[in-house]
Each structure stands twice: as structure tokens, then as C-alpha cells.
Amino acid sequence: MSSPNAHSLRIVVQHIGTGQRSVYRLVAYGGEGGDYTSRSAEFESLERLLRALRSVAPNFDEASLSLRKDGPETYIVFTGEMELDDSQLSLLGLTDHRQS
């Protein structure tokens, strides 16, 4: 059973490569009625991203990521649905912003 402050969200992770810098940007959106948006959180390495995801979803499967060695510098690594509460969003570096 979900907690009262849980949000059913779409999680998107994007790899952004710009020359010598590479980051993974995580964004959550959706919620009941689509009224949830968040800031993005950036991770400087795949290891940091995975550590954050596993802090909120211990069974997160790395095999669900679409990692590319060759290809575009910017691409979608992961999309999926997750139910996260406010404390889990905070662990991911995301803040709840309700639209009015």
C-alpha cells in the first residue's frame, strides 16, 4: 500500500555529453492528474546515478538502462514508472513542485 505522500511518477534519465563533460540528468514528472513537476538532478557518473536510484529502489536493475558506447552524445538512458514519496525524491535531489 502506498503512503499518503507517494507520487506515481515517470522517471526519465538522459545522458548528456558535451565534449569532455558527461552527465546523467534525472527528471520526474506526472503524478495524479499530471500535476507534479520537478527540478532535474544531475549526476557526474553512472556510478553516482545508480547509487542514488538504488537508495530509493534497492532492487533497481542496471540492465534496464540503455547505455551506448557509440552514438549521439545526448540520448535517453531510462524511462519508467516509479512510486516515490517526498523523502525518496529528496534523496534523488528532486523537489516537489505542484502546479497551481
User: Helices H, strands E: what count in the chain?
Assistant: 2, 6
Report how far apart the first and last C-alpha atoms of the chain are (Å, whole number).
27
What's the whole-model pTM score?
0.80
49 has a pLDDT exceeding 90: yes
How many residues appear in the chain? 100
- Average pLDDT over the chain, rounded to an integer: 83
Interval 64-94: pLDDT, tens:
999 887 767 899 999 999 988 888 988 999 8
Strand partners, 28: 11
32 has a pLDDT exceeding 80: no
Share of the chain above pLDDT 70, in %: 80
CA distance 28 to 51: 17
Q: Assess contact for 64 and 11: CB atoms under 8 A.
A: no
Query: Predicted confidence band at 46 (pLDDT cuts at 50, 70, 90)?
Result: very high
CA distance 31 to 37: 8
